[in-house]
Structure 1
Amino acid sequence: MSNENEDVTVTIELGRVDAWALAQFCKRTTHQDCADRATSEDEAYSMMDGINAVMRGLAEAGISPR
């Protein structure tokens, strides 16, 4: 990557069912899931940061499973 600290905006359009399913997936994904698939602990934390950002975006769109 040329600038690893640069923010990226991702815009997606999902049906409500798919958005809900994605939110459930994110909610159920743990740090250990990421650590199992990451090449380092830092990458695992970055994966979780990304998942948490997706969850915030979904919550702002009204999709926030408990």
Structure 2
Amino acid sequence: MKPAIKRACLLGTALFSLCASAAQAAGVLVGTWDLRGNGQLAAVYRDGANLQVVEGGSTRNYSFGNVVWSV
């Protein structure tokens, strides 16, 4: 296999893996809200018994003991 094709395949595989893991880690989008009142929207995701709040490049996680709830 030519080196250029091999590099392209490896790069494509790496990018796919990164995108797939980011989507997996995010969970299910519940919604976006201005949670701090600063005009910046935060995305809230449900991931099992956790809520993940993603805002401005940072992520905060909140755990719940009871996982029997729905939105």
Q: What TM-score do you get using the length of structure 2 for normalisation?
A: 0.31
The higher relative CO (CA closer than 8 Å, separation ≥ 6) is in: 1
More helix by share: 1
The structure whose Rg is larger is 2
Q: Normalising by structure 1, what TM-score?
A: 0.33
Higher strand share: 2
